[in-house]
Structure 1
Amino acid sequence: MLTLTKALHDQIVEHARQDHPDEACGVLAGPAGSDRPERFVPMLNAARSPTFYEFDSVDLLKLYREMDDRDEEPVVIYHSHTATEAYPSRTDITYANEPGAHYVLVSTADADDAGPFQFRSYRIVDGEVTEEEVRIVESYA
C-alpha cells in the first residue's frame, strides 16, 4: 500500500493537469529505507510528448546526486497518461528500474480542468505489475 499525504497527492495531480496535453513526470523522494514520500520533485518531460515521458538525463543525474547527499531514495516515480487509463504501458514496464519504488499513474484522459483524475499506484518488479491501494492522509503523524 502507498500512503501519501493529501498535499503530495494534490501536487502530483496539479502537475499532471498543468502539463496536459503532454505527459507530466516526477519523483517523490523520501528518507532511505522509510517507504515514506516526503519531497515533491517535478521533472521536465524531455520528450515533450502526449504519449511518452522521458526524464532529462542531466536533471535525473542531478536529482540522484541530491538524493544521495540527503540520504533519500525515490519512493514514488509518477507520470501521467493523457489519452489512456492510469495503467502502465509496455514502455512504462520496460523502463521501471526501481524495484522498491511505487509507480503512480494519473490519467487526465477523461478529466476537465477540475478533474476527476484517475490516480493509481503499482509495484513493477521484473516486468510484473501489481496494483496497490493508495491511502491519502492529512499527515504522517
Structure 2
Amino acid sequence: MILSQADFDRLLDFTKQAHPEECCGLIVGDGETVERLMPSANISTGDKTKSFELDPKVRFELIRESGERSLMGFYHSHPNGNPFPSKTDRSMVYEPELLWVITTCKEIKAFRFNETNQDFEEIPIRVKL
C-alpha cells in the first residue's frame, strides 16, 4: 500500500482526535495507491473504545461519486492497544478483498485477510513524500 505522508499524518491525527474512542473511515484509491481518506463517524452502539461501525452514509457517498470500484479498504484505530487485528476485527470480515488499516496514536499497520488461513496478513506500507 502506498500512502502519502500527509495521509499518514492525517490517520494519526484522526486517532488522536477520537481518543479514547476508535476512529474509522474508508480508504479510496487505485490499485495500491491511496488517493484519499473518507472519515466516518463511529456509529457503534457498543463500547466505542473497543469497537467501531462506519456510518453507511459515507459509503453511499463514495458510491455516488465514483462507484465502489475505488474502495480499497477501511481504517480504524486501536487507541489503547496495538495496531494488529483483534478477535473482534476477525469476526467483522465481510469483504476479505478489502484492506484493513489499523492505527494507534503512534503506529499504522495494513492487513489483508487470507481466506485460506482465515487470518490477517500484514502488508507493507510505503510512505511517499
TM bracket, shorter-chain basis? 0.7 to 0.9
Residue 23 (structure 1) aligns with: 22
Matched-pair contact (CA < 8 Å) for 2:28–2:37: yes
Structure 1 letter corresponding to 2:107: Q
Q: How do 1:60-75 residues align onto structure 2 when only pairs under 5 Å count? A: 60-68=59-67, 72-75=69-72
Equivalent of 1:106 in 91, 103, 106:
103
Call closer, same or farther: CA 1:94–1:73 in 2, change over 3 Å.
Answer: farther
CA RMSD of aligned residues (A): 1.9
In structure 2, the residue matched to 1:77 is 74
CA shift digits 1:74-96 (9 cap, x unpaired): 22311000221111112212212
Q: For 1:25 and 1:81, locate their aligned partners in 2 and report how far apart those are by CA, in whole Å.
A: 10
5+ residue gaps, structure 1, are 109-116
8 Å contact kept, 1:29–1:72: no
Q: 1:122 to 1:9 in 2, by over 3 A?
A: same
Residue pair 1:9, 1:136 contacting (<8 A) in 2 also: yes
Matches of 2:5 and 2:57 in 1, distance apart? 30
What whole-Å deviation, never above 9, does each CA across 1:16-55 have from its counterpart, x for those lacking one?
1111111000112113xx2221012111100271110001
The residue correspondences of 1:95-134 to structure 2 (distance < 5 A) are 95-108=92-105, 117-126=106-115, 127-134=118-125
Scaled by the length of structure 1, the TM-score of the pair is 0.78
> Share of identical aligned residues, percent?
26
Counterpart contact for 1:29–1:67, Cα < 8 Å: no
Q: Partner letter of residue 74 of structure 1?
A: L
Distance 2:96 2:64 in 1: 19
Unaligned runs of 5+ in 2: none
- What code does the residue aligned with 2:10 have? Q
Determine if contact 1:86/1:119 at 8 Å carries over to the other structure: yes
Name the count of aligned residue pairs: 125
